[in-house]
Amino acid sequence: MKRKINALRIMLLVVACTLWCAVGSAQNNIARLDALDIKSFSEGIPGIVTKTNAGGGPLKIGGHYFSSGIGTNGVSVLPFLLDGDAISFTAGVGPDDEANPLSTYKFYVIGDKKILFESKDMKVGDQPEKIQVNLSGIQRLGLLVMVDAANLSRSYSDWVDAAFVMKPGYMPEHIPNTGEKYILTPASSALPKINSAKVFGATAGNPFLFAVAATGVRPMYFTASNLPQGLNIDSATGIISGKVNNKGIYPVVLKAKNKWGETTNILKIKIGDTIALTPPIGWNGWNSWAREIDKDKVLASAHAMVSKGLHNHGWTYINIDDAWQGRREGSDKALQPNEKFPGFKDMADSIHALGLKLGVYSTPWITSYAGYAGGSSNFEDGSYPDSVRDNKRQYRYTGKYRFENADARQMAAWGVDYLKYDWRIDVQSAQRMQEALRKSGRDIVFSISNSAPFDSAATWKKTANVWRTGPDIRDSWTSLYYSAFLLDKWAPYAGPGHWNDADMLIVGNVTTGSKMHPTRLTPDEQYSHVSIFSLLNLPLLIGCPIDQLDAFTLNLLTNDEVIEIDQDPLGKPARLIIEDKGVQVWVKPMEDGSYAVGLFNLAGFGKTPQSFFRWGDEKPVSYQFDFSKAGLLGKWKLRNVWKQQDMGIFSNQFKTVIPHHGVVLLRMYKAG
């Protein structure tokens, strides 16, 4: 009996040892936040950095330095897919010691909609709060920093010594974006249809270029009656060019004809002192290739604009962002392109021959954000030595010698049509470049970037054609919301010749924050994105490689009725009229007396910590739009703009279903 007991004990000991050895050999994964590709997870604004604070300094909370962690700025949103494979999360949190002392910060860890950790309201100088949460069984996790909205500038917050403990073989993943890419807009007809803006402004005596945008089967032939003296139209391409010396308003009758029929439209040409009578619409290269942009990519984008048919819907500008700049040369010491852009004038001519326009980038600083030569220098000859290039962050200021006039003349000589001027905006630099462009002898749309102070909105209206109202946009709902849905206060300052700008469209494949990837906006969010930009009369600048557009994204960008809302000659941005039960109603008056109305299901975004994240169980909402609450009394004929479909006549109200973060975009015509 004793031998049997001993044998049983030995067997149990062997089994226990085997299990212990197995557990010991399969070590858990430690996933530090600063070791992940953390920028690709970030949905906040602006971006995120590792092992430094958001300003590039050391991580420091309450007087304590940390070598491991991440730095964020403003509202920070970090979603992770864990799928039940995480064990725990630990970190220290707090505002960085270099942060804005006026801001108040609050940190959250949220798992499957439950708040697992909530910090106190924290201020600069507070000691870091410690986090240690159990993540057993958690499917989706969110790390959130909320900041007092009144003091977002330099709102640096830190997650230090931050790490997940994961089961062996597992790491945090991205939240999937698996929404159906449903197409709403019907294909264009074979019949000719003119889609150009109804008004165009130019300066007397400057070169004139306008391409008639028209859909329909080619070949197509164009005519223009009552053109002012000095202009001609190419009957095969619809490109109107030349020069008008006399100021005035010229109603021109455009005609487009193919084998299926013909159509006419009125174009009002205004020769005077104001250009950009409708918001610019085109493409910008930064979110496609950033510093890797070159001449071949720019020309390929221009040809893709034509081959994809976007130009037939009014898309016009091909804008080169930062990274084209080289050295200053010649007697004028004007900035010249670098080796990636040989034959700059020939490139511009090729783009103009397609009926498109060319944009470039500059800054009044010594160095651009990407580290290329800017519009000033501490050297009289404008040189940009390696000592400056290698320490570029230290030279983000306006130098002793400025070259606005020389650069504006060179841009005009090349045939540039658009300038993005990028820096921490100040009035004097903006006014100097405005004057230089005015004297250049060419109409060049003047766009200033970024984060124009609202307190000077009246000044930007007088100084620039376009001004960026916030920081760089990212492909996330959080960024879209803060970039566009908070612009109601800016509306009174926008109108023909001067437009608010929320940055590029974040559809298609983008490189915001990390390598090229499909936008993280759901299809519903993308419909909302294009809708709110159009309702607000914002510039529409595609931010993805045009030749990579899939059928969904191309359809999203070629709805002429949506573009017409953006390009309406009245130029009055929509206003937020109703906010009720998670739905916002934006109403925009149109030149013809109708109204464009956007019903957006924001689902209470920003109202709770949980609302910043996508949990996978989001649902549409049923909403009854009460016309009287929007000041639209009586009967109205309603049209679904995305479907290009009449819906009938409605009295007093309209009931519909709106997808989560989606939109119902209406055009309302008085019916009695």
Longest dimension (CA), the chain: 118
| Cβ burial, residue 536 (10 Å; 0-12/13-18/19+) | buried
Q: Which residues of 365-390 are buried (b: 16+ CB within 10 A; e: fewer)?
A: bbbbbbbbbbbbbebeebebeeebee
What dihedral do alpha carbons 35, 41, 46, 49 form, nearest 10°?
0
Contact 455, 396 (CB under 8 A): no
Q: Which of 410, 419, 401, 400 is nearest to 334 (CA)?
A: 410
Contact 298, 347 (CB under 8 A): yes
Q: Which helix (H) or strand (E) holds 389?
A: helix 386-389
Contact 93, 132 (CB under 8 A): no
Q: How far apart are CA 43 and CA 645, in angstroms?
A: 35
Q: How far apart are CA 29 and CA 169, in angstroms?
A: 7
End-to-end CA distance of the chain: 102
Q: How far apart are CA 57 and CA 558, in angstroms?
A: 45
Instruction: Take residue 556 and report the two structure tokens written for it.
Output: 């999203």
Instruction: Determine the distance from the C-alpha atom of residue 59 to the mean position of all C-alpha atoms in its chain, rounded to a whole number.
Output: 29
Q: Where are the beta strands (DSSP E) in 96-247?
A: 105-111, 114-118, 129-134, 140-147, 156-166, 193-194, 199-203, 207-211, 214-215, 221-225, 231-233, 239-243
At position 179, the amino acid (one-letter code) is G
Other CB atoms within a 10 A radius of the CB of residue 652 amount to 13
Tell me the angle at which helices 404-414 and 344-353 cross, rounded to the nearest 10 degrees.
50
Q: How far apart are CA 538 and CA 446, in angstroms?
A: 14
Residue 568 — φ and ψ, nearest 5°? -60, 130
Contact 547, 516 (CB under 8 A): no
Q: How far apart are CA 278 and CA 300, in angstroms?
A: 26
H, E, C per residue of 236-252: CCCEEEEECCCCEEEEE
Reduce the DSSP state of residue 513 to 3 states and report it: coil
Bridge partners of 242, per DSSP, are 208, 231
Active site residue 472: yes
What dihedral do alpha carbons 265, 269, 274, 276 form, nearest 10°?
40
Catalytic residue among 422, 475, 560, 568: 422
Q: How far apart are CA 253 and CA 262, in angstroms?
A: 13
Active site residue 617: no
Omega before 450 within 30 of 0, i.e. cis: yes
Task: Classify residue 289 by its DSSP letter.
Answer: H
Catalytic residue among 321, 472, 524, 568: 472
**In which order are the strands placed within the sheet that holds 114-118?**
76-81, 140-147, 105-111, 114-118
Give the active site residues: 422, 472
